[in-house]
Amino acid sequence: MSESDGSMGVPHEAEAKPERRQQTRVRSAVRSVIPSEEWTRMLFAVTARVAFPESELRKLVIGKTKTPDRWIQAYNLCDGSRSQREVAAQAQIDEGLFSRTVSRWVEAGVLFRAGTPEVPLHLYFLVASRDLE
């Protein structure tokens, strides 16, 4: 029995409240660690994986090319931080060919032109073929 109120070791209600407040503070700190833009991007990627499973997306990105890793690299570079011209240059793909490919990807729904100025934005990052083995 507790000396103060005759209970069987049950803490006073006033004693339990500070612990709850501390737990709430910890939870709110965790929520603020990930910016809402990142949450949006993660939710978008998960939803995209449902609509376009990786095997299907890979087929659409690669097409019938003999250099699949170069096209996967180009697709992955379309992360919204580079222009279409910069992606083509970095992936060492002819600008005209890449422009037609971007149009094909946009029509297939696996790439978007977003922002001002418009930049290519992929659904999610694809692992290179050589890394799958």
Task: Give the pLDDT mean for 78-105.
Answer: 96
What does pTM read for this prediction?
A: 0.69
Strand pairing of 111-114 and 119-122? antiparallel
Integer Cα distance of 103 and 109 in angstroms: 10
What are the residue boundaries of the structural domains of the chain, listed by start?
Answer: 11-51, 52-132
Quick check: helix, strand or coil at residue 53?
A: coil
Q: Which of 87, 100, 97, 80 is nearest to 40 (CA)?
A: 80
The architecture in CATH of the region 52-132 reads: Orthogonal Bundle (1.10)
Per-residue pLDDT band at 100 (split at 50, 70, 90): very high
pLDDT tens digits along 1-51: 545 555 555 555 555 555 555 555 555 555 558 888 888 888 888 898 899
Cα 106 to Cα 116: distance, rounded to the nearest angstrom: 17
> Which residues, 6 or more positions from 47, have their beta carbon under 8 angstroms from its beta carbon?
none
| pLDDT band for position 85 (cuts 50, 70, 90) | very high
Percent of the chain with pLDDT over 90: 50
